[in-house]
């Protein structure tokens, strides 16, 4: 399979973890979001939305949207299952995923950042406040669920890695990369650390990607 990815894309990070967990080899094609390669006509033929990730299967089919890709992989490659069997637990997992994927991450993607600074003329400092605000609100909501629902174990939902962990780890990793203090989110950090002990997560991290910038190493 071919994964159109970028080292610091949280959405691509989710998919890299899933491919690793499922033991599916993949080739990474880097799409530099800072240079605007997501808008190259050739890339737009792959993903008309102009975002990563996109996954080209061995049959040549192209999938977009990380949650759709995660579900496809989970439905196609049975082991290890990334969703619980119990309906209530499945709903809880999806709820955590949506807090991060639908209500947090979209507020901090490059096109939003560009709109805030280049179109609306806000400063880098104001942009930092914007990014910090939405990241903190998202993590705060997940933290409260993990602390109060009584269903979190080693991972977000019990002791099984689920799609919720695949969504939480990139968000916590990004907060670390951008030096957002995480003291207020001990459960999120606990789950992050447990996941990172698994090579499937560790090898998918931005710092391990071939396009991770030399100057940040």
Ligand X SMILES: N[C@@H](CCC(=O)N[C@@H](CS)C(=O)NCC(=O)O)C(=O)O
Instruction: Give me the residues that bind ligand X (CB under 6 A), please.
Output: 9-11, 33, 38, 51-53, 65-67, 101, 109-111
State in angstroms the smallest separation of the CB of 47 from ligand X: 8
Q: Which is nearer to ligand X, 67 or 200 (CB)?
A: 67
- Which lies closer to ligand X via its Cβ, residue 82 or residue 101? 101
CB of 143 to ligand X, least distance (A): 21
Q: Please enumerate in sequence order all residues whose Cβ is within 8 A of that of 85, keeping only pairs 6 or more positions apart, or say none.
A: none
| CB nearer ligand X, residue 109 or residue 196 | 109
**Separation CA 92–CA 52 (nearest Å):** 26
| Separation CA 215–CA 130 (nearest Å) | 26
Q: Pairing relation of β-strands 27-30 and 2-5?
A: parallel
Shortest Å, Cβ 66 to ligand X: 3
Q: Is 29 helix (H, G, I), strand (E, B) or coil?
A: strand
- The DSSP letter of residue 152 is B
Closest CB 154 distance from ligand X, rounded Å: 25
In the bound state with ligand X, the residue whose beta carbon lies nearer, of 67 and 195, is: 67
Distance, CA of 139 to CA of 191 (rounded, Å): 12
């Amino acid at each position: 399979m071919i994964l159109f990815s970028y080292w610091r894309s949280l959405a691509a990070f989710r998919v890299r973890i899933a491919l690793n967990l499922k033991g599916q080899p993949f080739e990474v094609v880097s799409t530099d979001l800072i240079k605007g390669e997501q808008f190259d006509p050739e890339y737009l033929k792959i993903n008309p939305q102009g975002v990563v990730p996109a996954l080209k299967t061995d049959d040549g089919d192209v999938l977009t949207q990380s949650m759709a890709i995660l579900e496809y992989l989970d439905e196609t490659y049975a082991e290890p299952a990334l969703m619980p069997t119990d309906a209530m637990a499945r709903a809880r997992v999806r709820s955590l995923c949506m807090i991060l994927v639908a209500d947090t991450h979209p507020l901090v993607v490059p096109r939003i950042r560009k709109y805030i600074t280049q179109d609306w003329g806000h400063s880098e400092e104001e942009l930092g406040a914007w990014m910090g605000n939405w990241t903190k609100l998202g993590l705060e909501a997940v933290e409260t669920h993990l602390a109060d629902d009584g269903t979190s174990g080693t991972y977000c939902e019990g002791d099984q890695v689920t799609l919720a962990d695949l969504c939480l780890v990139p968000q916590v990793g990004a907060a670390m990369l951008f030096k957002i203090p995480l003291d207020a989110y001990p459960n999120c950090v606990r789950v992050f650390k447990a996941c990172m002990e698994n090579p499937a997560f560790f090898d998918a991290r931005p710092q391990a990607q071939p396009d991770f910038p030399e100057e940040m190493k």
